Amino acid sequence: MPKVDLAAIEQTNRTGYPPEHAGAVAGRWVRRLGPATGLSDFGVSHVVLKPGAASSQRHWHEDEDEFVVMLSGEAVLVEEGGRTPLHAGDMASFPKGDPNGHHLVNESGEDCVFLAVGRVPLGDAHYPDIDMQWVGGSYRRRNGSGF
């Protein structure tokens, strides 16, 4: 298996979130390893969270399993049941269809780095803390109106 040259893969902090919900992820830097390495059945992202950044808005997917592996630093997993610190070597699993909204937040003073494994979701996603949902391929307000 060829070694992945991480430095050769574009690192971006772009988001598709509407502007009013994008600030939380401004310090999230992502390298999409799947497309760059020819994977097509699932995606893998190398994610760096700067201090104060979140991995996403807290969410859950109807049809996408997610799995994260902490590589370095520390993040706090925030979910319905509370807050759990994650350190290098820790892992977390988020089964599709489980309405346990989750995200990682870097509350430390140093960068944290993790791998996120999943696939591009085809179904809906829910954001329990904000007036947003992913429906039919776009972000909408809960009442169905656009941003």
CATH of the domain at 121: 2.60.120.10
Whether 78 is in a domain gets the answer yes
* pLDDT tens for each residue of 12-49: 999 999 999 999 999 999 999 999 999 999 999 999 99
Domain presence at residue 60: yes
Give domain status of residue 3, yes or no. Answer: no
- In this prediction, residues 114-123 reach a mean pLDDT of 91
Query: pLDDT of 77-106, one tens digit each?
Result: 999 999 999 999 999 999 999 999 999 999
- The 3-state DSSP class for residue 89 equals coil
Identify the band that residue 2 occupies on the pLDDT scale cut at 50, 70 and 90: confident
> How many structural domains are present in the chain?
1
Domain boundaries, position 50: 24-140
* Pairwise CA distance, residues 67 & 11, whole Å: 20
Instruction: Classify residue 122: in a domain, yes or no.
Output: yes
Q: Does the pLDDT of residue 1 top 70, yes or no? A: no
Q: Are 111 and 121 in contact (CB under 8 A)?
A: no
Q: How confident is the model at residue 122 (pLDDT cuts 50, 70, 90)?
A: confident
Tokens of 84: 């759990």
Half-sphere exposure of 73 (CA within 13 A, CB side): 20
* Cβ-contact 125, 62 below 8 angstroms: yes
Q: Is the pTM of the predicted complex or chain greater than 0.75?
A: yes
Residue 38: the pLDDT is: 92
- 132-135-139-141 Cα dihedral, nearest 10 degrees: -40
In a domain, 111, yes or no: yes
In a 10 Å sphere around its CB, with 0-12 CB exposed, 13-18 middle and 19+ buried, how is residue 90 labelled?
A: middle
Whether 14 is covered by a domain: the verdict is: no
Considering only CA atoms, which of 136, 135, 134, 111 is closest in space to residue 29?
Answer: 111
- The single-letter code of the amino acid at 34 is G
Tell me the average pLDDT of the chain: 96
Q: Is residue 12 part of a domain?
A: no
Judge whether 139 and 16 are in contact, CB under 8 Å: yes
